[in-house]
Amino acid sequence: MSQVTSTWKGGGSPFAVGRKKLGMWLFVISDALTFSSLLVVYSYLRVANDWPKPFEFYPAIIFSSAMTLVLLTSSLTMVFGVAAAHAGERAKAAKWIWLTALGGAVFVGLHLTEWNHLIHEGVTPFANPWGVPLFGATFFLITGLHMTHVAIGVVYLGVVATGFSRGKFDSEDVEVSGLYWHFVDLVWMFVFPMIYLLSVTVQ
Amino acid sequence: MSAQRNLMMKVWVGLLALTLIEVLLAYIQLQPVLMLSLLMGFSLVKAAMIMAYFMHLKFDRPALTWMLVPPLVGCIVVLIAYLAPDSLMMLEAGI
């Protein structure tokens, strides 16, 4: 029988990816739906309420743009890490992955600084100085959930870098951790415009 | 190998350029609905670039993309469809 007919008849791998990679992809899709539903409901609440626009272009937007730059760049270093892992260069791959984890840690640090600043201005999940209390609730929920993903990613990458350089993990494990990392980056590409860029103070 | 590296760096530059455009849009401030449409348009392009190149979908079998992306898009369309009529009505009424 030809290969074309046997592809979907069982026993083969129709998607031609390993089980770990397929599993991570399915997780990514389900997690994407979690963030999608949060962001859709957030948009609805924005329309249904007189939503505050508290972020000054400088410093808040410049600051969060720098966070975006850090996260995007950490995605690029992860790409290099996966490429080195597939080429069998274990030490080099570990170096790139650690660099990626460092980028993630810097992102979390910057974001916590931003949080701290807002908390000092009186923003809590239940109240804020500018009006609708839901502003604080949605802000901390959505950015907090994203930050949790980044923090988990930093630990995950640390484990993968250590295990890969010791020969415990293979290059597919590195690629799978890369998928997770790029997904976290992808989510920020929606959180950043919806939370920050649409809430810039009107001059 | 280095051709692949160059390609990925081009994608990274493209993502940064789109982000810069988004930030500039926030600086000049347009009508909210136009602003939301433009920002989401740019973000969808960025998401597609990340999935195609960084997440390797472009170089995997098309079957993988067909399994993953249409159901995700379908679910998000349903999510939006639940709330969009009400949102549009409120926007129309100027609430």
Residues B40 and B82 in one domain: no
Residues B50 and B94 in one domain: no
Residues B45 and B85 in one domain: no
Residues B55 and B76 in one domain: no
Provide the domain count of chain B.
Answer: 2
User: How far is the alpha carbon of A180 from chain B, nearest alpha carbon, in Å?
Assistant: 9
Assess B66–A contact: CB distance below 8 Å, yes or no. no
Burial A46-75 (b: 16+ CB within 10 A, else e): bbeeebbebbebeebbebbbebbbbbbbbb
Assess B43–A contact: CB distance below 8 Å, yes or no. yes
Residues B40 and B69 in one domain: no
Answer whether B15 sits within 8 Å of A14, measured CB to CB. no
Whole-number pLDDT of residue A12: 76
C-beta separation of A15 from B63 below 8 A: yes
Contacts of A44 in chain B (CB under 8 A): 83, 86-87
Instruction: Tell me: pLDDT of B1 over 80.
Output: no
Residues B37 and B51 in one domain: yes
**Which residues face A200 on adjacent strands?**
A55
Whole-number pLDDT of residue B65: 97
* pLDDT more than 90, % of chain B: 86
Answer whether A75 sits within 8 Å of B50, measured CB to CB. yes
Nearest to A61 among B15, B26, B60 (CB): B26
Task: Give the residue, A128 or A202, on which the prediction is more confident.
Answer: A128
Residues B51 and B72 in one domain: no
In the predicted model, what is the mean pLDDT of residues A11-26? 90
Residues B46 and B69 in one domain: no
DSSP secondary structure, chain A, as one string: --HHHHTTSSSS-TT-S-HHHHHHHHHHHHHHHHHHHHHHHHHHHHHHTT----B-IIIIIHHHHHHHHHHHHHHHHHHHHHHHHHTT-HHHHHHHHHHHHHHHHHHHHHHHHHHHHHHHTT--SS--TTS-THHHHHHHHHHHHHHHHHHHHHHHHHHHHHHHHTTSS-HHHHHHHHHHHHHHHHHHHHHIIIIIGGGBPP-
Tens digits of residue pLDDT in A34-64: 999 999 999 999 999 999 999 999 999 999 9
Helix (H/G/I), strand (E/B), else coil: B1: coil
The residue type at A134: L
Closest among A157, A152, A184, A149 to A173, alpha carbons compared: A157
Task: Give the span between the Cα atoms of B30 and B93, in whole angstroms.
Answer: 20
Q: Which residue has the tokens 């604080």?
A: A136
Residues B52 and B68 in one domain: no
Residues B51 and B36 in one domain: yes
Whole-number pLDDT of residue A38: 97
Contacts of A41 in chain B (CB under 8 A): 83
Instruction: Tell me: pLDDT of A4 over 60.
Output: no
Task: Give the span between the Cα atoms of A114 and A24, in whole angstroms.
Answer: 31
Q: Which CATH class is domain A18-199?
A: mainly alpha
Residues B12 and B49 in one domain: yes
| Model ipTM value | 0.95
A11 confidence band (pLDDT: 50, 70, 90): confident
User: How far is the alpha carbon of A197 from chain B, nearest alpha carbon, in Å?
Assistant: 5
Answer whether B47 sits within 8 Å of A78, measured CB to CB. no
Whole-number pLDDT of residue A65: 97
In the predicted model, what is the mean pLDDT of residues A89-99? 97
B32 confidence band (pLDDT: 50, 70, 90): confident
A21 confidence band (pLDDT: 50, 70, 90): very high
A156 confidence band (pLDDT: 50, 70, 90): very high
* Domain extent at residue B19: 1-59
Contacts of B43 in chain A (CB under 8 A): 189-190, 193
The residue type at B6: N
Q: What is the mean pLDDT of chain A?
A: 94
DSSP secondary structure, B29-58, as one string: ---HHHHHHHHHHHHHHHHHHIIIIIT-GG
Lowest-pLDDT choice from A82-91, B29-38, B72-81: B29-38
Element (H, E) at B3: helix B2-28
Whole-number pLDDT of residue A1: 44
Answer whether B67 sits within 8 Å of A15, measured CB to CB. yes
Residues B65 and B78 in one domain: yes
In the predicted model, what is the mean pLDDT of residues A169-178? 97
